[in-house]
C-alpha cells in the first residue's frame, strides 16, 4: 500500500498511523481465523480417527514411508550429533579435570533434549514438507474432489492415516537416533583416548535414569502429532494453483518447527514441576 502524502510531498502521520493500525487489525483477524480453522481441523481428526472403517493398509504404507524412509537421514544426523557434541565438550571438561564425566554428560544431554528436538526438526523438514506438498498437489489437481465423488472419505484416507503414522513413528526414530548418537559419542571419546565399549556404556547407564528417558520419549509423540497435523492442514486447505503447493510445503516446515519449540518449552516446564 503506497504511503499517502500531502501537497508538499510530506507523509501525513495521521493517515500513516491509520494505515498501520488497519494492517495490524487485518493480520490479527487473519491469525485468529487461522487458529479457528486449525482447531476445527483438529476436532475433525479426533472425530474421524475413532470412526470405522479404518484404513489400516494405508496406515502401514504411511508408516513405511514416514518411518523407514526417514531412518537413513535420522541415523546419519544422530551419529554426527553424538560425535560432534563429544568433541566439543571434551576441552571444557578437561579444564576442570572432569573428563571422566564426558560419557554421562553427553548421554543425558542427548536423551533429555538434543536427540528428541533435533530429530523432530529433521522430521519436520523431511516429512512435514512432503506431506504438505503431496496433499496440496492433490488439491490442485482435484484428486481430493474426485475421491469425494467416488464415495471415499478423503480426510480419513489422507489425513488421519498420516497423522497417526507420524505420531507413532517419530518416537521410534528418536529412540533409534538416541542409540546411534551414543555410539557416535563412543567414537568421539576414543578419538583422543582409549575407553572400552563396556566401560563407556557402563558410565552412560549408571547416570541415565527413568526420569531422563521417559519425558524425552513421551514429548516426541506430541512433536509427531503437531508436525503431521499442521502439514496435513496446510496441504489439505491449500489454495488452488501451483503457487499453493510451494506455500503449503514451506509453511508446514516453518509452523511445524515453531510448534516443536513451543511444545518442548511446555514439556520442560511440566517435567521440572514433577521433578521437584
pLDDT band at 33 (very low <50, low <70, confident <90, very high): confident
Domain locations in the chain as residue ranges: 58-274
Average pLDDT over residues 9-24: 63
Q: Please report the pLDDT score of residue 21 as a whole number.
A: 60
pLDDT, tens digit (0-9, with 9 covering 90-100), for 206-258: 888 888 888 889 999 999 999 999 999 999 988 767 778 888 889 999 999 99
Of residues 92 and 262, more confidently modeled: 262
pLDDT, tens digit (0-9, with 9 covering 90-100), for 57-87: 999 999 999 999 999 999 999 999 999 999 9
Average pLDDT over residues 147-165: 90
- Asked if 85 and 106 touch (Cβ cutoff 8 Å), the reply is yes
pLDDT, tens digit (0-9, with 9 covering 90-100), for 127-143: 999 999 999 998 888 88
Rounded Cα–Cα distance for residues 148 and 6 (Å): 56
Q: Is 7 helix (H, G, I), strand (E, B) or coil?
A: coil
Q: Please report the pLDDT score of residue 272 as a whole number.
A: 78
pLDDT averaged over every residue in the chain: 86
Rounded Cα–Cα distance for residues 222 and 117 (Å): 12
pLDDT band at 275 (very low <50, low <70, confident <90, very high): low
Of residues 101 and 162, more confidently modeled: 162
Q: Report which of 70, 37, 45, 246 is spatially closest to residue 158, judged by C-alpha positions.
A: 45
For the cut 70, the answer to whether the pLDDT of residue 120 exceeds it is: yes
Single pTM value for the model: 0.86
Helices (H), 141-209: 143-149, 154, 161-189, 197-207
Other Cβ atoms less than 10 A from the Cβ of 25: the count is 10
Share of the chain above pLDDT 90, in %: 49
Q: Please report the pLDDT score of residue 256 as a whole number.
A: 92
Q: Please report the pLDDT score of residue 16 as a whole number.
A: 63
For the cut 80, the answer to whether the pLDDT of residue 39 exceeds it is: yes
Amino acid at each position: 500500500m503506497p504511503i499517502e502524502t500531502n501537497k508538499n510531498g510530506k507523509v501525513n502521520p495521521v493517515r500513516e498511523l491509520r494505515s498501520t493500525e488497519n494492517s495490524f487489525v487485518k493480520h490479527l483477524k487473519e491469525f485468529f481465523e487461522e487458529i479457528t480453522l486449525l482447531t476445527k481441523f483438529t476436532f475433525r481428526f479426533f472425530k474421524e480417527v475413532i470412526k470405522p472403517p479404518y484404513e489400516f493398509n494405508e496406515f502401514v504404507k504411511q508408516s513405511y514411508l514416514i518411518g523407514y524412509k526417514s531412518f537413513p537421514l535420522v541415523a546419519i544426523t544422530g551419529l554426527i550429533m553424538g560425535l560432534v557434541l563429544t568433541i566439543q565438550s571434551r576441552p571444557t571438561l578437561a579444564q576442570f579435570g572432569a573428563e571422566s564425566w564426558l560419557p554421562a554428560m553427553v548421554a543425558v544431554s542427548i536423551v533429555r533434549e538434543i536427540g528428541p528436538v533435533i530429530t523432530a526438526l529433521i522430521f519436520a523438514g523431511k516429512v512435514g514438507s512432503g506431506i504438505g506438498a503431496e496433499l496440496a498437489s492433490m488439491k490442485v489437481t482435484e484428486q481430493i474432489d474426485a475421491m469425494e465423488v467416488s464415495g471415499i472419505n478423503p480426510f480419513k484416507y489422507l489425513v488421519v492415516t498420516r497423522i497417526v503414522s507420524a505420531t507413532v513413528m517419530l518416537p521410534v526414530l528418536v529412540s533409534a537416533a538416541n542409540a546411534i548418537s551414543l555410539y557416535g559419542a563412543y567414537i568421539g571419546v576414543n578419538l583422543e583416548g582409549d575407553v572400552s565399549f563396556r566401560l563407556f556404556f557402563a558410565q552412560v547407564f549408571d547416570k541415565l535414569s527413568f526420569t531422563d528417558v521417559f519425558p524425552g520419549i513421551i514429548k516426541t509423540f506430541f512433536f509427531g502429532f503437531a508436525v503431521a497435523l499442521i502439514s496435513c492442514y496446510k496441504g489439505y486447505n491449500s489454495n488452488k494453483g501451483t503457487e499453493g503447493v510451494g506455500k503449503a510445503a514451506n509453511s508446514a516446515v516453518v509452523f511445524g518447527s515453531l510448534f516443536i519449540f513451543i511444545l518442548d518449552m511446555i514439556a520442560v516446564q511440566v517435567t521440572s514441576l514433577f521433578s521437584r
